[in-house]
Amino acid sequence: MKRFAVILGASGEIGESIARELAGEGWSLYLHWHSRNIEPLAEALAEQFAGQEFIPVQADFSQVDGADRLAQAVFDASCIIVASGHDLVKMLIDTTEEDMNKLWRVHVQNPVASIRKISPFFQRHPKTYIVFISSIWGQAGASMETIYSSVKGAQLAFVKAYAKEMAPVGTRVNAIAPGFIMTKMNSHLDQEELEAIVEDIPLGIGAPQDIAHMTAFLVSGKADYVTGQTMSVNGGWYI
């Protein structure tokens, strides 16, 4: 029987890395994307991993119906990875109502609604998994990223509560809090700013694969006594 995982935000660099990692572990995947067409990734994975399925699903999570559009395309799942999202670098005084609403919809409302709509499929499987790719700022908070830090913190609170709710039926719910991962999200930083950050991180800057490896471990069956936890993958930046 095929194992299906739904990866929200599979078109991002971390999401794509997770998709490649899970495909290598034998998972068939629903690959959610919004603006960057993920068809080429789905085709490449299908060619590399014969016998598995890779299904692109387009849905805009900044819209209120994002979860509905996603869930309509999913017909089985025993794993949901939430890797979708975008940041917002603004002082709170300059943040608009729409900025706040969009971040809430993208990081919390639509991912949680997707879980609510897809989780009935979990009843078919003895062990199921949910992993949120959150952020170090959900733990520590970041100046100039107050609302982003807030929604990432909300993800971590959801994980704690839902893990308790779902443990009796065999669902493990965890989060990963990446530190500084080199992606396009950090492209606004100049060389001097990057060097200053590197000086503060004992193990230096991380890569998307670092997050993918931890995700794969959490859904591998080798971490089944772990639930409700936030795994800090940050190179020692925040301890």
Q: Which residues are catalytic?
A: 148
Q: CB neighbours of 48 closer than 8 A, spacing ≥ 6? A: 23
* CA-CA-CA-CA torsion sign (27, 227, 110, 92): negative
Whether the Cβ atoms of residue 78 and residue 4 lie closer than 8 Å to each other: yes
20 to each of 44, 84, 225, how far by Cα in Å?
10, 16, 25
Residue 152: other Cβ atoms inside 10 A: 27
97 burial via Cβ count (<10 Å: 0-12, 13-18, 19+): exposed
Residue 14: other Cβ atoms inside 10 A: 27
Residue showing tokens 């819209």 = 63
Whether the Cβ atoms of residue 70 and residue 32 lie closer than 8 Å to each other: yes
DSSP letter, residue 181: B
CA dist., res. 186 & res. 194, Å (int) = 9
Whether the Cβ atoms of residue 82 and residue 9 lie closer than 8 Å to each other: yes
